[in-house]
């Protein structure tokens, strides 16, 4: 028995938002009398961090601390329409809608502050800590709380905003496929390193190194959570999972997590990630979306690493020990390729 080490790479891009567009999202932002803001959405937080990333976008746009913003989602009576949380569209589409709503609310807030401070609204700025001050004269300031009270109880203004973001629907040419599928694309390249056992056909992950370009990492910890978890979904897809192990024959289909094979804690390997930020012109603060694409480069990178290790190409997923072993036997033994 010999364990052969190999490295493989893959590079990919990924379209952000529903293909062809036509998928609007809306947001409403309003202040309570204490100058705390609520964002009302109908978007879904699946665990990816929708509430948190829209909260940061709203806070940044309003110029208030993130603690002063709360995102309420999803209630069809109070949240305006959103197409849904899929197609890597949350950060880009909903983020833009929240930005637009927050910008409108900020406009009213600054007007109200200007009236209180008896200056022109264009001369005011926020400090991001809950105060609005005259540019260049930080001592002439008013808290967002006092502005909110004045706006509602004295000036009769609603510090609120509405936002929508829509990429208009593109047509598709039936003959050529000419179309506008997406307005921006995320990118990635991943190197997978594996050990392949030529006696059992088993593949063990050794490490992954990757670079992901996402426009802007609005919250690097949420990005890390997506990229680490997504890469493992990719490994699992490449080496373990399927509800139909003998596809296309629908037999021996697993029914639970005992029968459905997935990697366990002992199968995890180090993953060293670099994030690049080339802002998308139409992204909220340039952001694209890491949601879906993080798993994609892993599958081919693992397959290519297996070739590099033992010289076999497995083009049918998942790459089970049985397939690896049969292919090694068919070529008369492992044929390690040039070490990379």
Partner 1 sequence: MLELRKDIFADERDDNLKEIGKGTQRQDMLGHVTGTSSYFNDHKLQGMLHLKVVRSTQAHARIRRIDTTEAERSAGVRRIIRGTDVPVNLNTLLSLINFGKDDEPSLAVDKVRYKGEPIVAIVADSEREAFEAIARVKVDYEPLPAVFDVEEALSPGAPVVNETYPKNTFTYHEVYDHQKLRFGDADAALATADHVLEQRYQMSPIEHAPTETNGAIAAPDTNGRYVVYTSTQALFFSVDTCAKILDVPSNTFHFIGGTVGGGFGGKVDTLTEPLAILGAMLTGRPVRYVFGREEEMQFGPPRGAERIYIKDGVMRDGRIVARKIRAYFDSGAYTRLSSYAAVKCAAHLPGPYTIPNVYGDVYCVFTNRTPATAMRGFGVTAMDFAIECQMDKLAHLVNMDPMEFRILNAYRDGDMKAHRREAKNTALIECVQVAAEKAKWPLREEYKRASSRKDGGGSRAVIPPTPTDPSRARPAAAGQQRTSYDRLPPTVTREPPREPPPPAPPPPSPRPAAPSHGATRFSSVFGTRRR
Residue 163 phi, psi dihedral angles, 5° rounding = -140, 145
Are 181 and 16 contacting, i.e. CB atoms less than 8 angstroms apart?
no
- Is residue 231 within the footprint of partner 1 (CB under 8 A)? no
Buried b (16+ CB within 10 A) or exposed e, 229-242: ebbbbbbbbbbbbb
- Is residue 37 within the footprint of partner 1 (CB under 8 A)? no
Q: How far apart are CA 109 and CA 106, in angstroms?
A: 5
End-to-end CA, the chain? 22
Contact letters for partner 1, residues 116-145 (x by CB under 8 A): ------------x-----------------
- Is residue 227 within the footprint of partner 1 (CB under 8 A)? yes
* Structural tokens at position 279: 């802002």
CA distances from 42 to 77, 90, 117, 133 (A): 9, 11, 37, 34
Q: Which stretch binds partner 1 (CB under 8 A): 112-120, 134-142, 160-168, 178-186?
A: 178-186
Q: Which stretch binds partner 1 (CB under 8 A): 15-23, 104-112, 136-144, 151-159?
A: 15-23
How far is residue 339 CA from its own chain's centroid?
34
- Angle, nearest 10°, between helix axes 298-310 and 321-330? 40
- Is residue 315 within the footprint of partner 1 (CB under 8 A)? yes
CA distances from 96 to 61, 162, 219, 223, 288 (A): 11, 11, 16, 18, 11
Sites for partner 1 among residues 232-251 (CB under 8 A)? 233, 237, 241-244, 247-250
Q: Which residue, 61 or 160, is less far from partner 1 as judged by CB?
A: 61
Q: Which residue, 159 or 305, is less far from partner 1 as judged by CB?
A: 305
Q: Which stretch binds partner 1 (CB under 8 A): 18-26, 30-38, 111-119, 196-204?
A: 18-26
- Is residue 66 within the footprint of partner 1 (CB under 8 A)? yes
Q: Which residue, 157 or 279, is less far from partner 1 as judged by CB?
A: 279
The residue within the footprint of partner 1, chosen from 57, 105, 112, 203 (CB under 8 A), is 57
- Is residue 175 within the footprint of partner 1 (CB under 8 A)? yes
Q: How far apart are CA 105 and CA 147, in angstroms?
A: 12
Q: How many residues lie near partner 1 (CB under 8 A)?
A: 136
Contact letters for partner 1, residues 262-301 (x by CB under 8 A): x-------xxxxxxxxxxxx---xx----xxx-xxx-xxx
- Is residue 230 within the footprint of partner 1 (CB under 8 A)? yes
- Is residue 21 within the footprint of partner 1 (CB under 8 A)? no
């Amino acid at each position: 028995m010999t364990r052969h080490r190999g490295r493989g790479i893959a590079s990919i891009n990924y379209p952000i938002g529903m293909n062809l567009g036509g998928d609007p999202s809306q947001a409403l932002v309003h202040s309570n009398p204490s100058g705390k803001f609520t964002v009302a959405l109908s978007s879904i937080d699946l665990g990816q961090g929708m509430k948190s990333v829209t909260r940061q976008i709203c806070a940044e746009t309003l110029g208030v601390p993130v603690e002063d913003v709360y995102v309420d989602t999803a209630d069809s009576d109070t949240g305006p329409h959103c197409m849904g949380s899929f197609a890597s569209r949350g950060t880009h589409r909903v983020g833009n809608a929240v930005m637009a709503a927050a910008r409108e609310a900020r406009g009213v807030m600054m007007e109200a502050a200007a009236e209180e401070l008896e200056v022109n609204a264009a001369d005011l700025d926020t400090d991001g800590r809950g105060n609005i001050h005259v540019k260049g004269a930080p001592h002439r300031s008013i808290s967002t709380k006092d502005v909110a009270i004045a706006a509602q109880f004295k000036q009769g203004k609603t510090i609120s905003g509405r936002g929508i973001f829509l990429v208009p629907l593109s047509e598709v040419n039936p003959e050529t496929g000419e179309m506008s599928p997406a307005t921006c694309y995320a990118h990635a390249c991943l190197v997978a390193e594996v050990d392949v056992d030529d006696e059992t056909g088993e593949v063990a992950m050794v490490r992954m190194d990757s670079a992901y370009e996402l426009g802007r990492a609005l919250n690097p910890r949420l990005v890390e959570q997506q990229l680490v978890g997504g890469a493992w979904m990719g490994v699992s897809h490449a080496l373990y999972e399927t509800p139909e192990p003998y596809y296309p024959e629908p037999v021996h289909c697993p029914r639970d997590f005992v029968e459905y094979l997935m990697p366990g804690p002992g199968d995890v390997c180090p993953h060293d990630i670099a994030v690049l930020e080339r802002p998308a012109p139409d992204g909220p603060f340039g952001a694209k979306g890491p949601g879906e694409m993080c798993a994609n480069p892993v599958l081919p990178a693992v397959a290519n690493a297996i070739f590099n290790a033992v010289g076999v190409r497995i083009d049918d997923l998942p790459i089970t020990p049985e397939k690896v072993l049969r292919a090694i036997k068919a070529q008369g033994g492992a044929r390690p390729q040039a070490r990379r």
